Amino acid sequence: MTHTPTPWGTQRMGPYVATTTVPQYIPVIDPETQIAVIVDEHGRTVELGSHGTSTSGLTPTKTIPGDGSGPGGPVDADSTESYDQDPSSG
């Protein structure tokens, strides 16, 4: 008769730590401002903190050799990406 060993992971298991109930928040559209707001289970508006906005852009660049009076040789082109982020307020 063969003995099947206990899987190693079951020897490492333990009880879960105590948990808490997370309140339910629901996103809704404010009918006056047409902006999404978050409300709790009692219908009160909840402030989840503020966040900034950001912009990103791709700027093409082109280098033309020579003095501009005639053809000057090979053209080199590439692009530069910029990324600006507004700081969070609050």
Express as a percent the part of the chain with pLDDT over 70: 56
Q: In this structure, are residues 80 and 59 in contact, taking their beta carbons and an 8 Å threshold? A: yes
- Domain residues for the domain of 65 are 23-85
Show the tokens assigned to 27: 């996103």
Confidence grade of residue 88 (pLDDT, cut at 50, 70, 90): low
Question: How many separate domains does the chain show?
Answer: 1
Single pTM value for the model: 0.33
In a domain, 11, yes or no: no
For 12, the enclosing helix (H) or strand (E) is helix 8-12
In a domain, 6, yes or no: no
Segment 47-68, tens digit of pLDDT: 877 666 666 677 776 766 666 5
